[in-house]
Structure 1
Amino acid sequence: MVLSDNNVPRRAIGSWKRKYDITEDYFKTWSNNMAYILGFIAADGVIQKENQCVSISQKENYILEDIKQELNTNQPLYRNKKTGVYMLNINSKVIKDDLMNIHGIMPCKSFNIEFPLVPEEYLHHFVRGYFDGDGYVKYETYTVSFVGGSYNFMNSLNQVLQNHNLPADLLNQNKHYRVILTGRKPIQLFSKWIYKDKDIYLHRKYEEFQKESLSLDQLKDRKLKRTQAAVKQRKQNFLKEYMKNKCIAKTCSILEIKEPTFKSWLKNDNQFKKDYERIHSL
């Protein structure tokens, strides 16, 4: 063919009639921001099965504007009048194919997504993107958590955090899984890692970590073991002691467990909640 003989790149099917511009090969090359956006899509994106559209939604429109700028697209945002949530629709067959074929992010991904092969130098940017899309932080309880439906993805995420000396735990909560990180110093170490060389990020989550008044050097390591077996044993000890006195405050005091930790167990561990409610009703 004349085009191929003269090394003229061929445009993707449908790109000639595209209404909005976009950098179609964006997800072919790793960068800090590409890793972040990939993580954001892995958490909060929707790969349409019926068409060539990738959708991202968020209640803060500025984060979608940052992503738009990075993708060099003039695609407008749409706002759901009922929920107030903004949506960015990325219409590109090339981008959709690259997300699926290079990075393994498929339509209907909630329960079968695998953790992508992310180069180590970009890993914290990917985790920050996933955290901004589907993560939670509350300084008052010293808790960071992620929620997902895919065991393989969440187990890999748990291993990534542990490999970076972050004492995370993976919890099975019936239809979904939760990776949880607790402790005043651990969540600040997590913050220091994911926000290193940051560019795009959700301000409200970043600001939650900034509530810490002490430096990392001033924060103490946790004395308690954070292995799953150790946490499970602490929960069992709580239930046994609570069965004796039926007082949350007294049980926490005897076992040196903070009440926010007990509340976190109730929220994040369905089996513990059932056992506690059964004892409470006796």
Structure 2
Amino acid sequence: MAYILGFFYADGYIAKNNHLVAFSQKDVKILEDIRKELDSNHPIRINNKTGVYNLIINSKLLKNELMIYHKVTHNKSIDAVFPDVPKGYLSHFIRGYFDGDGHIYKSGYLICFVGGSKEFMTSLRDILAKESFNTRIIIEKPIKGFSTYLKIFR
């Protein structure tokens, strides 16, 4: 579940006006695994224009758990705070987030996480720095809003 929560923080969405929780990803296998773990029978659909798969779950319980226990809002891309994840599950959460919004550069030893919340990225940086990773936060202004990049060097 920590992996799914991390993946949700990267590639998930909560609707503002109904009980909808969605996951989006180009790799349908990840969504199939999440659907199975959540014991869901909701369909996975593809957006033919973007090639992105969507798992949309209508669940008041799931939405409320994300909002109440993990402080997720419908605007989480901008205002996300790092959730309280027990240390034993932290690596699973980070791996889930990486699978959603991380990448590895082809040259060098460089890993990058992308997000819109500076507060979230700062918390992630601090956690990784405690594990002796050399980290740097870079803020850039792309076409739509601000993005925060956490670059990790080894």
Query: TM-score w.r.t. structure 2 length?
Result: 0.93
1:178 aligns with 2:139: no
Give SS of 1:140's match: coil
Q: Give the distance between the partners of 1:132 and 1:37, measured in 2 at CA.
A: 10
Gaps of 5+ in 2: none
Q: Give the distance between the partners of 1:171 and 1:62, measured in 2 at CA.
A: 31
Q: Tell me how large the CA RMSD over aligned residues is.
A: 1.1
1:46 aligns with 2:17: no
Q: Give the distance between the partners of 1:126 and 1:139, measured in 2 at CA.
A: 24
* 1:258-281 superposed Cα distances (whole Å, 9 cap, x missing partner): xxxxxxxxxxxxxxxxxxxxxxxx
The equivalent residue for 2:54 is 87
Out of 97, 105, 109, the position equivalent to 2:72 is: 105
Out of 83, 89, 92, the position equivalent to 1:122 is: 89
- Give, as a single letter, the amino acid of the residue that structure 2 aligns with 1:179: L
* 1:58-93 superposed Cα distances (whole Å, 9 cap, x missing partner): 111111000011011111111111122110001100
Q: Counterparts in 2 of 1:232-243, with a 5 A limit?
A: none
Higher Cα Rg, which structure? 1
- Give, as a single letter, the amino acid of the residue that structure 2 aligns with 1:178: Y
Q: Give the distance between the partners of 1:54 and 1:146, measured in 2 at CA.
A: 23
- Give, as a single letter, the amino acid of the residue that structure 2 aligns with 1:39: G
The equivalent residue for 1:156 is 123
Query: TM-score w.r.t. structure 1 length?
Result: 0.52
Higher strand share: 2
- Give, as a single letter, the amino acid of the residue that structure 1 aligns with 2:69: I
Identity of aligned residues (%): 47
Gaps of 5+ in 1: 1-33, 187-282
* 1:144-178 superposed Cα distances (whole Å, 9 cap, x missing partner): 00111111101001001101111111122242211
The equivalent residue for 2:36 is 69
Q: How many residues align?
A: 150
Give SS of 1:153's match: helix
Q: Give the distance between the partners of 1:43 and 1:95, measured in 2 at CA.
A: 17
Q: Give the distance between the partners of 1:172 and 1:73, measured in 2 at CA.
A: 37
Q: Give the distance between the partners of 2:29 and 2:147, measured in 1 at CA.
A: 29
